[in-house]
Structure 1
Amino acid sequence: MTSYLVDLAYIGIASVQEYLALHVILCLIPAFFLAGAIASLFSKESVLKFFGADAPKYVSYSVAAVSGCLLAVCSCTVLPLFAGIYKRGAGIGPATTFLFSAPAINILAIVYTAKILGYDLGVARAVIAILLSVVIGICMSFIYERNNGERKALKTFGEEKHAHTVWLFLLLLAILVTPEILPTWNPMLFVEIPLIAITVYVSLKWFDRDELESWMGETWFLVKQITPLLLIGVFFAGIIVELLPAEYVVEYVGGATAGSYVIASVAAALMYFSTLTEVPIISALTLLGMGKGPALSMLLAGPALSLPNMIVISRIMGVKKGLTYISLVVVIAAISGYAFGMYII
């Protein structure tokens, strides 16, 4: 028994070693710097102002659906932001659109999904999450939003932050995607090294010491918060591949039956996925035979829901509204996975 456990531990460690060799330098490090820049240098207030009373509904829903990639929030940090904009009068429609979309289109999550699970799933995750977040918000608004009193304008500040931030974002994004465009080392380094040098130069020129320290601090915070959990996820994903009979995966989430999508969606909603950890786990399940449709259902439901998350949401909105939101996420994630599965077959 002891030797068997030791063998499983070695399998998990081997998975971590393979992951570190393949994905850290060219994927995670640039992504962490990019997410840290977004979290520190983009003004959250200048985005959240669009949830206020002065903004038309089409603006509120549009900003709510895409702001997650600018705010760099995960499933944990989105909850206080959601509570803040909801309690301050944003309205349940735009607020729940933001609640669903923000963790789903986290820049780290989208990049990592595309790199590990394929660009079809990465793009589908981002695009469908944006579209479905609006559907969920409109449904919540239609069901519950009546004349709840005057919506308040959300107080904002810091709206005149550097226009240079957008250019920094594009430079960091170029560093991140270059290895995919130029996969061989010599051409890649020929482009990457000048890009890195330019990014360092303009960062020192455009931003003051406090802003640079904030950027590095946010980056380091993300590294400390995410990396240990991510490596634990990779470790157990390697063990899952060894332990879980492939025929079970194929039977329950490997086919194109409606049940496989519902099972994938409900299972993801009940599990707790820290930021990015859903990707190696789902990757392990796909190796065992899980279809891409159920995988997308898990990618949509997993970041949006977990048992702790459901409790907090129900406390903020009330049990009835919370259960409605949770049901909408599970059902729509299952339907989206089914549609995607039919499309790629």
Structure 2
Amino acid sequence: MTLDYLMYLVSVGFQSLQEYLALHVLMCLLPAFFLAGAIASLFSKESVLKFFGADTPKYISYTVAAASGCLLAVCSCTTLPLFAGIYKRGAGIGPATTFLFSAPAINILAVVYTAKILGYDLGVARAFSAVLLSIFIGLTMSLIYERKGAEQRSIKTFGQEEHKHTVELFILLIAVLVAPEIMSGRGWKYTDQIIVWIPLIVLTAYMSIKWFSKDELKSWMGETWFLIKQITPLLLLGVFFAGIIVEVLPKEIVASLVGGNSLVSSFIASIAGAMMYFSTLTEVPIIKALTLLGMGTGPSLAMLLAGPALSLPSMIVINRVMGIKKGMTYISLVVLIATISGYIFGTMFA
């Protein structure tokens, strides 16, 4: 590889990064970070995780486990210790593995970003499939490994209540996040969007100051800044290399492996997603790059489902927490359902 070609690839990566920053940061990523930070700091994790204990009816524990990723704003690196904690504290293997699969996939940042970059069909499919299939995985794990009458402890260490204005703030932040997209979809000019968007931000800021104490606001800003520092560098790095991937990777190879919407292509995408390590959101620009090279919609969903749920490091942790037999069963189920989901989605909506 010559130096001139290497410099050309670097310029391609920076061009991809420049286009991304211009299109997606102000009205997409920043509001999502503030929303996720508010959820992480002001919404009590304990009020959700307490529902995973033995005293909770199964229809509640599985529902909460499947949807809690959206409420807890957890990323893949946070899911594993939370999973280990609730599993060791007495949560059944069913709700625990339901949470383990669903939480990183329906992280509010991940869902919003997927819809913005890859399209609302894939965004909705990712969230819906993650919730539905996580329950299937949990019930399957419970059916295989939980014997009737086995002792299961209550989770008694949780119980803190969230702030009374959390819901109102959540609604305002959602409005800040989706308003530009709604206005854009109706053909509004960018300047008109800004005119409406700024007063909405001012209202949200004013009500936040009115509703929350300085310590709570400080905690919110701290969580938001933590998420920005943790995710943004890796995300931008992913965008940079995704631009280079489009330039370097031959379309014929991508098309032959994960092109179309066959069962085999979805399986290959699931295996690839399970073996790779995706930091939060980095799977989206990489999959976007692969779709430009010919990756099918079905394999895209398969990778979106398997990628956040598994990676080589996470497989090691999962096997250590649950044991090799249970861990390998969970890993196999994730690959299987990601493959089947991708194939069905690709067949129906291609």
The answer as to 2:176 corresponding to 1:175 is yes
CA drift of 1:194 comes to 1.8
Equivalent in the alignment of 2:25: 24
Amino acid at match of 2:133: L
Amino acid at match of 1:257: S
Superposed CA offset, 1:210-249 (max 9, x none): 1000000000000000000001000100000001101111
CA drift of 1:156 comes to 1.6
Equivalent in the alignment of 1:285: 290
Superposed CA offset, 1:234-279 (max 9, x none): 0100000001101111111112221101000000000000000000
Within 2, Cα distance between the matches of 1:308 and 1:46? 29
Secondary structure of the structure 2 residue equivalent to 1:272: coil
Q: Do the aligned residues in 2 keep the contact of 1:48 with 1:154 (CA within 8 Å)? A: no
Amino acid at match of 2:205: V
CA drift of 1:315 comes to 0.2
Q: Percent identity?
A: 72
Amino acid at match of 1:204: I
Q: Do the aligned residues in 1 keep the contact of 2:261 with 2:343 (CA within 8 Å)? A: yes
Pick one of 266, 274, 286 that aligns with 1:261.
Answer: 266
Amino acid at match of 2:320: R
Superposed CA offset, 1:176-210 (max 9, x none): 11111112224322321221111011100110011
CA drift of 1:52 comes to 1.3
C-alpha distance 284-150 of structure 1, shift in aligned 2 (>3 A)? closer
CA drift of 1:283 comes to 0.1
The answer as to 2:211 corresponding to 1:206 is yes
Superposed CA offset, 1:81-129 (max 9, x none): 1011101111000000000000000000000000000000000000110
Equivalent in the alignment of 2:343: 338
Q: Do the aligned residues in 2 keep the contact of 1:297 with 1:336 (CA within 8 Å)? A: yes
The answer as to 2:44 corresponding to 1:39 is no
Amino acid at match of 1:3: D
Secondary structure of the structure 2 residue equivalent to 1:67: helix
Equivalent in the alignment of 1:162: 163
Aligned residues: 344
Compute the RMSD of aligned alpha carbons: 0.9
Question: What does residue range 122-141 of structure 1 map to in structure 2 within 5 Å?
Answer: 122-141=123-142
Equivalent in the alignment of 2:244: 239
Within 1, Cα distance between the matches of 2:125 and 2:83? 24
Within 2, Cα distance between the matches of 1:116 and 1:55? 38
Moved over 3 A (4+): none
Pick one of 314, 321, 325 that aligns with 1:320.
Answer: 325
Amino acid at match of 2:287: I
CA drift of 1:343 comes to 0.8
Q: Do the aligned residues in 1 keep the contact of 2:260 with 2:297 (CA within 8 Å)? A: no
Equivalent in the alignment of 1:273: 278
Within 2, Cα distance between the matches of 1:314 and 1:233? 28
Stretch of structure 1 that moved more, 176-185 or 117-126? 176-185
Q: Do the aligned residues in 2 keep the contact of 1:51 with 1:154 (CA within 8 Å)? A: no
Within 2, Cα distance between the matches of 1:178 and 1:188? 8
Question: What does residue range 93-132 of structure 1 map to in structure 2 within 5 Å?
Answer: 93-132=94-133
